[in-house]
Chains A and B, each alone.
Chain A
Amino acid sequence: MATLKVPVSASDHRQGSAHAKVTLVEFGDYECPYCGLAYWVVKKLQQHFRDDLLFVFRNFPLTTAHPHAMAAAVTAEYAGSRGFFWEAHDELYENQDRLGPPLFRAIALKHGLSDEELYLAMQDGTYVPKIKSDFNGGVRSGVNGTPAFYIDGLRYDGAPEFTEMSQMIELSLVRG
Chain B
Amino acid sequence: MHTSELDDAKEKNDDLVQGPLSAGTVAPDFTLYATPDQQLSLRELKGNPAILAFYPADWTSVCGDQLTLYNQLLPTFREYGATLLGISVDSAWCHQAFAKDRNFHFSLLADFEPKGAVARQYGAYEPHLGVCKRALFVIDKEGVIAWSYISPMAINPGADGILDALDALANSSQSTPT
Contact = CB atoms under 8 A, between A and B. Distances in A.
In order of increasing CB-CB distance, the 4 nearest A-B pairs are: A145-B64, A144-B158, A144-B156, A34-B63
Interface string A138-168: 0111111111100000000100000000000
Interface in B147-168: 155-160, 163
Interface in B100-115: 102-105
A47 interface: no
B68 interface: yes
B25 interface: no
* Contact residues of B: prevailing secondary structure: loop
A9 B25 CA distance: 42
Interface string B72-105: 1100100000000000000000000000001111
Contacts of A140: 160, 163
22 contacts: A2-B160, A32-B63, A33-B63, A34-B63, A34-B64, A64-B68, A64-B72, A64-B104, A65-B72, A136-B76, A139-B69, A139-B73, A139-B159, A140-B163, A143-B69, A143-B158, A144-B66, A144-B155, A144-B157, A145-B66, A147-B64, A148-B64
* Contact residues of A: prevailing secondary structure: loop
Interface of B: 63-66, 68-69, 71-73, 76, 102-105, 155-160, 163
Contacts of B105: 64
Given A62-B68, A62-B72, A63-B72, A145 B160 contact: no
A139 B163 contact: yes
A146 B73 contact: no
A144 B69 contact: yes
Contacts of A145: 63-66, 68-69, 156
B156 A141 contact: no
B63 A146 contact: yes
Interface residues of A, number: 21
Interface of A: 2, 32-35, 62-65, 136, 139-148, 157
A124 B76 CA distance: 21
A141 B160 contact: yes
A57 B119 CA distance: 39
A64 B63 contact: no
Among A63, A143, A145, A157, find the residue whose CB has the most chain B CB atoms closer than 10 A.
A145
A105 B153 CA distance: 43
B103 A65 contact: yes
